[in-house]
Amino acid sequence: MQDILNLLVRFRDGEEPCAIATVVETRGSVSARTGSKAVIDCEGKVVAGWVGGGCAQSTVCHAAIGAMREGAPQMVDLDLDDEVLGTGMPCGGAMRVYIEPMMPKPKLWLLGVGRVAECLCQMGALLGFDVIVDDALAEHERYREASRLIDDDLDYEKLAPGAADYVVVATQHKGDHQSMLRALRSPAPFIALIASAKRSGLVLDYLRQEGISEADLARVHAPAGVDLGAKVPEEIALSVLSEIVLHRRGGTGEPMRDRLRRRTAGEAVAGATA
95-123, pLDDT tens digit by residue? 999 999 999 989 999 999 999 999 999 99
Which residues, including other chains, have CB under 8 Å from residue 202's CB and lie 6 or more apart? 177
| Closest by CA position to 216, among listed 188, 179, 176 | 188
Residues 119 and 245 in one domain: yes
pLDDT for res 91:
57
In whole angstroms, what is the distance from residue 243 CA to residue 226 CA? 6
The CATH number that applies at residue 118 is 3.40.50.720
Q: Write down which residue in 102, 133, 150 finishes a domain.
A: 102
HSE-CB at 190 with a 13 A cutoff on CA atoms is: 23
Residues 212 and 82 in one domain: no
Q: What percent of the chain has pLDDT over 90?
A: 68
Q: Write down which residue in 68, 102, 136 finishes a domain.
A: 102
Range of the domain at 156: 107-249
Strand 220-221 and strand 190-193: the pairing is parallel
Residues 70 and 94 in one domain: yes
pLDDT for res 86:
45
Residues 77 and 122 in one domain: no
In whole angstroms, what is the distance from residue 252 CA to residue 255 CA? 9
Residues 148 and 61 in one domain: no
Average pLDDT taken over every residue of the chain: 90
Q: Write down which residue in 74, 102, 130 finishes a domain.
A: 102
Lowest-confidence range among 10-24, 86-100, 125-139, 207-221? 86-100
**Quick one: pLDDT band at residue 83, thresholds 50, 70, 90?**
low
Is 159 inside any structural domain?
Answer: yes
Residues 243 and 131 in one domain: yes
Residues 69 and 118 in one domain: no
Is 261 inside any structural domain?
Answer: no
| Closest by CA position to 111, among listed 131, 126, 125, 97 | 131
Residues 58 and 186 in one domain: no
Is 273 inside any structural domain?
Answer: no
CB 163 within 8 Å of CB 85 = no
Number of domains observed in the structure of the chain = 2
Residues 131 and 221 in one domain: yes
Instruction: Please compute Rg for the chain using Cα positions.
Output: 24
In whole angstroms, what is the distance from residue 244 CA to residue 253 CA? 11
Q: Which residues of 19-29 are buried (b: 16+ CB within 10 A; e: fewer)?
A: bbbbbeebeee
Is 143 inside any structural domain?
Answer: yes
State the angle between helix axes of 115-126 and 233-249 in degrees (0 to 180), rounded to the nearest 10: 40
Residues 30 and 121 in one domain: no
What mean pLDDT comes out for the span 61-80? 92
Residues 177 and 199 in one domain: yes
241 or 33, which is more confident? 241
Is 115 inside any structural domain?
Answer: yes
Is 263 inside any structural domain?
Answer: no
State the angle between helix axes of 176-184 and 197-209 in degrees (0 to 180), rounded to the nearest 10: 50
Is 270 inside any structural domain?
Answer: no
Is 258 inside any structural domain?
Answer: no
Residue 84 has pLDDT above 50, yes or no: no
Residues 55 and 116 in one domain: no
